[in-house]
Amino acid sequence: MAKTNFGGTLLNPVGANTTGWTIPSDSIIRSVASWADALEPRRTPVLTRCGKGKAIDQIKIEWGQSYHTAVSGKLGATVTTTDGTSITLDTGEGKLLQPWMVLEIMDWADTGKTRLNYDNREEVVVTAISGDTITVQREANNTKKHESANGQYWAVAGVAMPYNTDFALSPFTRGDLIYNHPQRFYAEVAADVAARNTPTYETSGDQLLKDLEEQTMLLKYYLERSIVSGVRQSGDAAATGASTNQKPYKMGGIDYFITNHSGRVLNLNGKTLSAYDLEGHLRDMFKEVDDGGAKTLLMGVDTASIFDSLLNPIRQATVNDTKVNLVVDSVRFRWGTLEIMPTQHMPEGMILFVDFKDIKVHPYKGVAWSTKTLATDGPYDKMAVFGDYTISVDKVQRMGKIYGFDMNLDNYPRKEFF
């Protein structure tokens, strides 16, 4: 240990390695006024709003979805004014009809296929069905023959059975099963016995338990990410231990089920997002689903900021002498009021229409969040926290997705004034 001599020097509070220092580094007392908690986001708002489902006890969880028989479709071939009584529908749509149904045939009035042209409406009466080819009486109810291209619209406009005619079997539709898998989440921590009893400025208690608490919070964060964006995968048990050949089971998330099972996915192909894109999506769901579509909009933080100046940019803010309001929390249309729910867990440039009452999180029986003390051969301790979880998404037909829109915020109608 070395001593330090000073001569003709005025004492000052400057420590070693600083010009003019008079206090050796070994003599300095550290003054730590406070220690701030971590600020990185670990909240799980989606997990909080999802319902709590019952525990499952199988590697495959299934739930059913019933469907009404469709009452509209599209033509499978062009119908001309000179055609006879034979009309071809799209593949598989002949099964939706029965003899003596009345059909209306119309062209779409726009390329987006949201409006119909009633000026060229023709009614026909179905007399026979063979696969997807139907035999009809044309120009029913005094309507006129009209040429309609392949892919144009048809819909059932009623049933008109003649007298002295036998019944014919009506179409019906049966539902199907949708499934998901549980996914295992885990974390492990370890500490020497002495380290567990060594306080620091950051941790005054047992460091091992503090680390376990932090990992538990992080696992819930990971679960949230999987609930939103997970892609379903069937796994195996090809090996044990730390083999890289094992294929883990993964659960599908909300985006996965909406994309693959809702039938309501809209790609804007890089164009700027409009409130009327939301209105159109909601309107289509209102036409085809009882009680309309889901009305919570799950989106990223940057995506949500688009709406804060998207509506009526001339009157951009609500202003008084001391406050400015630039926030849009909801958007009301005739078909319902949409709630905007931003979260860090959503990819930007994507909006999911969800109804949380139809989304449930299920633990595996006996494998909800649990801790396990692991064996060691020395004076150190190991602990693990783990849990198996999955989700079910009921009534997914009420949900939808819009994606692929322009995320350059400079391309939206923001103003530099209130």
Confidence of residue 256 (pLDDT cuts 50, 70, 90): very high
Confidence of residue 418 (pLDDT cuts 50, 70, 90): very low
Query: Do 50 and 121 fall within a single domain?
Result: no
Query: Do 257 and 277 fall within a single domain?
Result: yes
How high does pLDDT run on average in the chain?
86
What is the pLDDT, as a whole number, of residue 1? Answer: 54
- Residue 301 included in any domain: yes
User: Where among 159, 187, 222 does a domain terminate?
Assistant: 159
pLDDT at 114 over 90: no
Q: Identify whether the C-beta of residue 70 lies closer than 8 Å to the C-beta of residue 81.
A: no
Between the alpha carbon of residue 164 and those of residues 126, 138, 140, 167, the distances in Å are 17, 21, 20, 10
Range of the domain at 268: 46-61+179-411
Reduced to 3 states (helix: H, G, I; strand: E, B; else coil), residue 383 is: strand
Strands 318-319 and 400-403: unpaired
Confidence of residue 414 (pLDDT cuts 50, 70, 90): low
- Quote the CA–CA distance of 248 and 234 in Å, as a whole number: 7
The residues, any chain, with a CB within 8 Å of residue 100's CB and separated by 6 or more, are 125, 126, 127, 159, 160, 161, 162, 165, 168
What is the pLDDT, as a whole number, of residue 33? Answer: 65
- Residue 183 included in any domain: yes
Query: Do 321 and 218 fall within a single domain?
Result: yes
Mean pLDDT of the region 1-20: 70
Query: Do 121 and 213 fall within a single domain?
Result: no
User: Where among 159, 190, 214 does a domain terminate?
Assistant: 159
Higher per-residue pLDDT: 228 or 331: 228
User: 85-112, pLDDT tens digit by residue?
Assistant: 899 999 999 999 999 999 999 999 888 7
Query: Do 217 and 255 fall within a single domain?
Result: yes
Mean pLDDT of the region 2-11: 70
What is the pLDDT, as a whole number, of residue 140? Answer: 79
Confidence of residue 417 (pLDDT cuts 50, 70, 90): very low
User: 48-86, pLDDT tens digit by residue?
Assistant: 999 999 999 999 999 988 888 889 999 999 998 887 789
What is the pLDDT, as a whole number, of residue 199? Answer: 86
- Residue 14 included in any domain: no
Question: What are the backbone angles phi and psi of residue 157, rounded to the nearest 5°?
Answer: -110, 10
Q: What is the DSSP string of 222-268?
A: HHHHHHHH---B-------SS-TT----B---HHHHHHHHTS-EEE-
Query: Do 117 and 197 fall within a single domain?
Result: no
Q: What is the DSSP-derived secondary structure letter of residue 93?
A: G
Query: Do 84 and 232 fall within a single domain?
Result: no
Confidence of residue 19 (pLDDT cuts 50, 70, 90): confident
Confidence of residue 243 (pLDDT cuts 50, 70, 90): low
For residue 83, give the nearest of 140, 14, 136, 8 by alpha carbon. Answer: 136
CATH code (residue 298)? 3.90.1690
- Quote the CA–CA distance of 190 and 238 in Å, as a whole number: 28
User: Where among 131, 159, 187 does a domain terminate?
Assistant: 159
Between the alpha carbon of residue 257 and those of residues 174, 352, 392, the distances in Å are 20, 11, 9
- Residue 128 included in any domain: yes
For residue 208, give the nearest of 232, 229, 185, 190 by alpha carbon. Answer: 190
What is the pLDDT, as a whole number, of residue 18? Answer: 74
Query: Do 253 and 341 fall within a single domain?
Result: yes
pLDDT at 374 over 60: yes
What is the pLDDT, as a whole number, of residue 318? Answer: 57
What is the pLDDT, as a whole number, of residue 136? Answer: 93
The residues, any chain, with a CB within 8 Å of residue 251's CB and separated by 6 or more, are 180, 181, 182, 183, 226, 230, 232, 389, 390, 391
Confidence of residue 34 (pLDDT cuts 50, 70, 90): low
Provide the residue type at 12 as one letter.
N
- Residue 41 included in any domain: no
